[in-house]
A and B are shown apart, each in its own frame.
Chain A
């Protein structure tokens, strides 16, 4: 079955960088678009970024554009989120999410998330 396991979260100071990883199993990563979605403590969901199955297109939320970079290594079944110039408002649980199916890009299968805490 589809499994997504995020890692790389932790506590980091304002202005620093962090890279999240998401290892996929149970399916061929290279066939699906992948997303990052985050949720600040006690708050709602925020879509962060999407990368197409082949990495050819990438999209970002306005709040992270220019600071975050999504990438993938299909040979390693791994999705990444490079987060630079981190701010306190980036504190959140970050979920790795797979497209629902081939041809449907709705975020369909979710990992359990990794917590990022940004403070001074």
Chain B
């Protein structure tokens, strides 16, 4: 199975900061990568699909980039509602696999 490694595992940031989360695949996955946001006690929410396509209704401060093995989720200006855990998912080959998550906390 393809391994997905996210970094960092957690980070502290302030409102207004630019935040970058990285996801690395153990082998090439083209652009078959999605990003999810999860808040405590809630179901995950799809933010980005196909590495860089913004899901409908998601604020434009969220963006994704990358292809092959290295991917990035960027939040251009962190808002209070963005404090959450973020996961990447490769949907290139079965079994699909998630990264271990990145918790974004308030500094």
Contact = CB atoms under 8 A, between A and B. Distances in A.
Main secondary structure of the interface of A (DSSP, over half): strand
Given A47-B98, A104-B49, A62 B89 contact: no
A32 interface: no
Nearest to A113: B43
Nearest to A49: B95
Contact of B1 (A62, A106, A112): A62
Contacts, number: 54
Contacts of B55: 100, 108
Interface string A83-120: 00000000000010000100011111011110000000
A45 B98 contact: yes
A59 interface: yes
Given A47-B96, A59-B96, A104-B50, 5 more contacts: A44-B98, A45-B44, A47-B97, A61-B95, A62-B95
21 contacts: A37-B44, A44-B99, A45-B36, A45-B44, A45-B89, A45-B98, A47-B95, A50-B94, A62-B1, A62-B95, A95-B43, A100-B46, A100-B49, A104-B49, A106-B46, A106-B50, A107-B34, A108-B49, A108-B55, A110-B44, A110-B45
